[in-house]
Chains A and B, each alone.
Chain A
Amino acid sequence: MKKKRIGSTLFLTLVLLFLYLPIVVVIVYSFNDNPARIPLQFTGWTTRWYEELFAGKGGYGSALVLSLQVALWSVLSSVVIGTLGAVGMVQATLRSGKGSRGDNLMESIAILPIMIPEIILGLAFMVIFDALGIKGNTIRLVLAHTTFCIPYVFLSVKSRMVSMDTALFDAARDLGATQRRILRDITLPLCAPAILSGAFLAFAMSMDDFVISFFVYGVGEGTLPLKIYSSVKTGVSLRVNALCTLMILAVFLLVAMNQYLQAVRAKKERMLQKA
């Protein structure tokens, strides 16, 4: 019994080390005071990589701004399109009173962008944008990112809609609400948590995307992932380590916040049930 537990503890430790050791190395090296192109020795502590991160020539500031801009616009448009799509589809199914084959087809089409290999999608976007003469880098990125962000919002909202009591819509109609009113007063407020979690996921995907952005983006510094890639080509700058550390911190904070919100909600629900 005891022996078994030692074995599993060891296994767990190894898995965690395997997963997180590289990240720890990145964090530690971001403080490494060794200006070599490929710094292997740890020669002392410094915070200058952080100071240089957004300053001066070759800084990451503009790339970060572009990434945030693209993510913001893509998330906003995918939230609108994905939510309306999911709500409309579920309500159409309700009205017809049965799930049709067209329904399944629509759903498959809607989530296709996350099934197609990114490299194909990227290539396709490049070809079509060039053919249509869409030249602006930001608009190209936003259009492409919106496409692969929609499914995350769509799936999240749709699963919420399906689990909702359909009598709520009937009740609202019965009380005199028009379709528009029902959407505003009933559907959207009840779907808000699902929209939010879909939006978070879409945001993360947009910030993280490399392959599609690589194909779509023309000349210039590019988004954060593109910029990191191009600076790594000429050796791992220690500033990249600093940037990665900040990004890990941001992700960690987001996850922690999400956990906290869920814990608060769960606690509130428990209290409601007791009352």
Chain B
Amino acid sequence: MSEQTPFLRLENLSKDYGQGMVLHSLSLDVDAGEFLTLLGPSGCGKTTTLRIIAGLEDATEGRVYLDGADVTKLPPEKRNLNTVFQSYALFPHMNVFQNVAYGLKIKKVPKAEIQQRVMEALQLVQLTGYEKRMPSQLSGGQRQRVAIARAVVLRPKVLLLDEPLGALDLKLRQQMQQELKRLQKQLGITFIYITHDQEEALNMSSRIVIMREGRVEQIGTPEEVYEHPATLFAAGFIGQSNLIHGVVDKVGEDGQMTILSEGVSLPAYAEKEYHPGDKVVLCLRPQRVRYGSEPQHGLDLQGLILDKEYSGGMQHTHIRLGDTLDIRVMSQSSELDSYQIGDKVHVGWSIRHAPVVPDNPAEEAQ
């Protein structure tokens, strides 16, 4: 292998369980110390990918390289990476200490060192004093921490986390998100994290891999995938968007163009080259849209306020552009209280923050 080999490389991974392909030639490079999230709806192949990396599943085709070595055919115990399972999978007949110590015991680490490393790991996940408890005596969040301690105590090169927060309630989940981030910084090891929760992915990751039906849709930092979705699926899956389907009308210079949708001509901007007649979707974040008595962001679109909803400091407004094109707008409630349902307003947004993606009916996220 050349010296530019990334820390973890997946090369053309395919998986077929006999009932159709679950992974289609997936390739992915991961750097050391990254917090990489595989994000996608259930059935997109993210868990299969993780299990192939872990060695719990064989790929039908393709290779896995870890730290310069081909580990495709290695059994899990020889790979030096560990997994935190969705169901935690704590051994119910062992107490917390025995659970965390299990991997070390198998590696025949001396007793005194086991003792010391287990206590360190428990301290890391803030469970000191719980050594003698059985898993059934722990709360969901505590079990989660034991599962993490059990994996990191072996000092793996990569920690694989399969929807580890899926079974926790919202408040605990947010708290654990912070803790996992802290843990990853503290340990400095690579995390590969699976979730179907886009908010979780945006909060925690250094990079996000958006997956759909066994393929990679987009790879990028949270900001990139949020601000510049590459596909309609990515745009619909990450955050909220008004997905305005239309046709490219005119193409100007520097990526400037107009899109015709339901009789309304919408100015837009795209780095990619489009041609008049291309079917496209304009992805408009509700919180990017402004309205008022003056033209906004240099756009002069006329809108009619259809509906207003107030929810917890935010104002949700439905505005109709033209005759039939309805968009959702989200704003700080204090700013725009003066407008009433039925008022006519000027509507606009920064076209650089409203990405354009090719239309593809098969891709639309639910």
Contact = CB atoms under 8 A, between A and B. Distances in A.
A115 interface: no
Interface stretch (A48-56, A129-137, A168-176, A200-208): A168-176
B54 interface: yes
Nearest to B17: A97
Interface in A153-212: 165, 167-168, 170-178, 181, 185-186, 189-190
Nearest to A273: B136
B76 interface: yes
B82 interface: yes
A273 B139 CA distance: 10
B92 interface: yes
B89 interface: yes
A272 interface: yes
A272 B83 contact: no
Interface string B76-96: 110000110111011111000
A173 B76 contact: yes
A175 B85 contact: no
Give chain A's interface residue range (CB within 8 Å of chain B).
20 to 34
Interface in B97-155: 102-103, 106-107, 134, 136-137, 150-151, 154
Contact of B77 (A173, A190, A275): A173
A171 B77 contact: no
A170 B106 contact: no
B56 interface: yes
B83 A171 contact: yes
A175 to B, nearest CB: 4
Interface string B44-88: 000000010010100000000000000000011100001101110
A170 B75 CA distance: 12
A176 B106 contact: yes
Given A173-B77, A174-B54, A185 B102 contact: yes
B352 to A, nearest CB: 45
B102 to A, nearest CB: 6
B103 A176 contact: yes
Interface of A: 97-98, 165, 167-168, 170-178, 181, 185-186, 189-190, 269, 272-273, 275
For the complex of A and B, the 8 pairs showing the least CB-CB separation, nearest first, are: A175-B103, A167-B89, A171-B89, A176-B77, A176-B106, A167-B85, A272-B136, A174-B83
15 contacts: A97-B17, A98-B18, A165-B89, A168-B91, A170-B56, A172-B91, A173-B77, A174-B56, A174-B82, A175-B102, A175-B150, A176-B76, A176-B107, A177-B77, A178-B77
